[in-house]
Amino acid sequence: MRSGRSACCRVCDVCLNMNFSSSMADFSARQDDLLPFLTADQDDLLANRVGTVIGAFGNTLSQLLFGTNDVSTDVTFWCATTNQPEYVQAYVDDPRITQKLDPSKPIAFLTHGWTDNVNRTWVKQTVADYVRLIGGNICAVDWSPLALVEYNLAARNTPKVGRYLGKFVQFLLTKGFSINQVTLVGHSMGAHISGIAGAYLGGQVPSVIGLDPAGPAFTKPIPVSTDRRLDRTDGRFVQAIHTDKNIIGTTMNLGHQDYYANSGASPQPGCEFPLVNNDTTKAYLQFICSHFKAVEYFRASLDRQNIFEGTACSSYYSYKRNDCSAGTKDDFGLFNNTVRQHRH
């Protein structure tokens, strides 16, 4: 895809609206890369969804009746490095941690959302792209035993997952890692887990990135307290990108910069599903696809050739009218100007 800058607009210090190019097809993205409920083998579609529903029901019933396991059992860390691109499990108090990870290199943490796990295609591809394009260390945070439950129960599980992630980062700091080299990235509920981990670390992580942070049970119908969701105090610089703000995501600004890709609403480019005739099915596919577009945009932003530039503006309507008075611009992702400043 082209490495071109797209113009955008200014509102205040916390909100940027982005107009991403629809040429994302060149980023080798397929629906099975983006939607955890679709696979390359369409025969698996129904079985996967039925299995997820049954698993969520069983896990929900079990947690309501018997509670959860120790968090160290339910939350695991699967790490890769430039020299070891395949997953290796790491632990809090792992005696071999410096053999699995390189303390001299940056480290990122990628956290999935509701009903997901680290073996989803999008998680594995994001890890692979990070290792290839950025280098250093990256750990995928698997909290699937606590995520594959009824939605509100999963939301209530996020604080302890975030605190345990923070505890793991604290352990790494005792082994030679620098807080200045840590990045926390999360999708949907994982965005809030990343924020909670950042708060656990005193807001000192230089970069926290929320990928279409979940709205229901976090910011709507009413916002929960900031210790239970992503907030601009969770890191030295917090970004959020919104791609399905009206359904699964949120219209609430959560970071120092909030990027609204293509107005931040469904359907995002490539998520129109014009051949689907049933309106209900089409709407469902559109907002799920749009929700995962945030992941695709983040993956694309890992390549320096792909520049995703936002302009601060009062609204997307004002942006489309070229009515952004201040017009401050910045790039989304790890190459954001402020992020780079905080890494030193």
**Which residues, in sequence order, are bridge partners of residue 172?**
none
Residue among 79, 51, 56, 214 nearest 145 (CA): 56
Q: Determine whether 263 is an active site residue.
A: no
Residues 195 and 230 sit within 8 Å (Cβ to Cβ): yes
Of the residues 144, 256, 291, 301, which is catalytic?
A: 291
Task: Tell me the CB-side half-sphere exposure of residue 332, using CA atoms within 13 A.
Answer: 37
Q: 84 in helix, strand or coil?
A: coil
Residue whose entry in the numeric block shows the structure tokens 């060149």: 26
Q: 169 in helix, strand or coil?
A: helix
Separation between Cα atoms, residue 92 and residue 100, nearest integer Å: 13
Strand ranges in the chain using DSSP code E only, listed in sequence order = 9-12, 15-18, 76-81, 88-90, 107-111, 137-142, 182-187, 207-211, 238-242, 257-261, 309-311, 329-331
Of the residues 74, 112, 142, 188, which is catalytic?
A: 188
Residues 22 and 290 sit within 8 Å (Cβ to Cβ): no
Residue among 167, 149, 197 nearest 72 (CA): 167
Q: Determine whether 212 is an active site residue.
A: yes
Q: Determine whether 291 is an active site residue.
A: yes
Residue among 335, 238, 343, 340 nearest 5 (CA): 335
Instruction: Report the phi/psi class of residue 226: left, alpha or beta, with left for phi > 0 and alpha for psi in -120 to 50.
Output: alpha
Of the residues 116, 212, 330, 331, which is catalytic?
A: 212
* Residues catalogued as catalytic: 188, 212, 291
